[in-house]
Amino acid sequence: MRYSGLKVITEGLFGNKGWKPAWRDPAPKPEYDAIIVGGGGHGLATAYYLAKDHGLTNIAVLEKGYLGSGNIGRNTTIVRANYFLQGNSEFYSHSLKLWEGLEAELNYNVMHSQRGLINLFHSDGQRDAFVRRGNAMINQSDDAVLLDREGVRKLLPYLDFDNTRFPIYGGLLHPRGGTARHDAVAWGYARGADTRGVDLIQNCEVTGIDIENGQVTGVQTSRGAIRAKKVGMIVAGRSGQVAAMAGMRLPVESHVLQAFVTEGLKPVIDHVISFGMGHFYISQSDKGGLVFGGDLDFYASYASRGNLPMVEHVMEAGMTLMPMIGRAKVLRSWGGIMDMTPDGSPIIDKTHINGLYIDCGWNYGGFKAVPASGWCMAHLMATDKSHQFARRFRLDRFATGHVMDEEGTGSQHNLH
The binding site for other proteins (CB under 8 A) comprises: 238-241, 244, 249-254, 298-303, 307, 309, 342, 398-399, 411-414
Residue 243: CB minimum distance to other proteins, A: 9
Amino acid at 300: A
Residue 126: CB minimum distance to other proteins, A: 24
User: What letter does residue 113 receive in the DSSP assignment?
Assistant: B
Could you tell me where the DSSP H helices lie in 101-123?
102-106
Dihedral of alpha carbons 399, 401, 405, 409, sign: positive
Residue 257: CB minimum distance to other proteins, A: 14
Residue 409: CB minimum distance to other proteins, A: 14
Residue 346: CB minimum distance to other proteins, A: 14
Residue among 58 and 307 whose Cβ is closer to other proteins: 307
Residue among 55 and 208 whose Cβ is closer to other proteins: 208
| Torsion on CA atoms 397, 403, 404, 405, rounded to nearest 10 | 140
Report the C-alpha gap between 273 and 42 in whole angstroms: 25
Residue 413: CB minimum distance to other proteins, A: 6
Residue among 313 and 391 whose Cβ is closer to other proteins: 313
Please report which helix (H) or strand (E) contains residue 135, including its range. helix 124-139
| Torsion on CA atoms 255, 337, 100, 22, rounded to nearest 10 | 170
Residue among 228 and 252 whose Cβ is closer to other proteins: 252
Q: Which residues pair with 194 in a beta bridge?
A: none
Residue 341: CB minimum distance to other proteins, A: 8
Residue 239: CB minimum distance to other proteins, A: 8
Report the C-alpha gap between 24 and 297 in whole angstroms: 39
User: What letter does residue 303 receive in the DSSP assignment?
Assistant: S
SS3 for 94? helix
Residue among 254 and 284 whose Cβ is closer to other proteins: 254
User: What letter does residue 289 receive in the DSSP assignment?
Assistant: E
Report the C-alpha gap between 175 and 242 in whole angstroms: 38
Amino acid at 130: F
Q: Which residues pair with 348 in a beta bridge?
A: 359
Residue 235: CB minimum distance to other proteins, A: 12
Name 111's Cβ contacts closer than 8 Å, sequence gap at least 6.
179, 180, 181, 184, 286
Q: 3-state SS string over 218-242?
A: EEEECCEEEECCCEEECCHHHHHHH
Residue among 188 and 240 whose Cβ is closer to other proteins: 240
